[in-house]
Amino acid sequence: MPPAEHSWTSLSATDATGQSPAVFATTHWSVVLEAQGESPAAQKALEKLCRTYWRPIYGYVRRHGVGNQDAEDLTQGFFALLLERKDLNSVRKEKGRLRSYLLASVKHFLADESRRAMAVKRGKGQRLIPFDDVQEGERIEAERSDQLTADQIYERRWAFTVLEEVLARLREEYRSAGNVRFFDQMKKMLMDEPDRPSQGQVATEFDITENAVKQAFYRFRQRYQTLLREEIAHTVAMPGDVEDELRHLIAVVQM
């Protein structure tokens, strides 16, 4: 489910540049780009990226006036063609960033009638993208705004998909430790939700001190920022691109 557009209190421009860059390990996108031939690891990494970042593509297609069902077929077909990995050399023109590469690819794709026809055919019956997991209202939330261009819808949906992935990873860490209820309260504080609890309320609920809540929230926020950088790192080819992508994400969310 796409995250709601809460006030952006979790990061600032200072946060984005004031900390040491996250350790850049081998990531999904770097595996895809560096693989030679039909690498199983590269194929698995690319499938993971497609399943994660389909919403921006779907939003872009819908904003071009395509109906729900055709947009689903086109999105499924687009990623089916992408998985053939026949045009990844063009990624160098897009600075090695998955976000830019997908946007350039879908623009080219929609302008090519033969590719669109092929994609619609391939999209029928495909199960790569889990459309059934998302309600219709959630799926086209961003697309409904007449004030946004297709590019803006793509960028905003991309940004919120990144944040959704980060929160899902963080929630899983707390779930594994048996602290889902605590995660829910920390998330409300982080995202400045309408029912955001005070530190005193959290302290009372969990029978701990307010200072313990303060320290726990500090660790929660730090971990969130670390995971955010890690998630962004999975979509770029070079370590130096992480901070630029982070600044871009912040700017998009704050629009």
**What token pair was written down for 49?**
């990226």
Instruction: Examine the pLDDT at 87 and tell me if it is beyond 60.
Output: no
Least confident of 10-24, 37-51, 131-145, 181-195: 10-24
How far is residue 32's CA from residue 92's CA, in Å, rounded to a whole number? Answer: 13
Which range has the top average pLDDT, 21-25, 40-44, 198-202?
198-202
Q: What percent of the chain has pLDDT over 90?
A: 37
Domain ranges of the chain: 13-253
Supply 186's token pair. 């920390």
Rounded-to-integer distance, Cα 76 and Cα 128, Å: 7
Reading phi first (left if > 0) and then psi (alpha if -120 to 50, else beta), residue 116 is in alpha
Confidence of residue 181 (pLDDT cuts 50, 70, 90): very high
Residue 102 burial class via C-beta count within 10 angstroms: exposed 0-12, middle 13-18, buried 19 and up? buried
Per-residue model confidence as pLDDT tens digits over 141-176: 544 556 789 999 999 999 999 999 999 999 999 999
pTM of the model: 0.79
Tokens of 76: 């499924």
Query: Interior CA angle at 89 toward 233 and 55, to 5°?
Result: 50
Residue 97: strand pairing partners? 236
Q: Does residue 85 come out as left (phi exceeding 0), alpha (psi in the -120 to 50 range) or beta?
A: left
Helices (H), the chain: 13-18, 28-34, 40-52, 54-63, 68-82, 98-111, 113-123, 136-139, 150-176, 180-191, 199-206, 210-233, 241-253
Please give the average per-residue pLDDT across 110-132, as a whole number. 69
pLDDT value for 119: 67
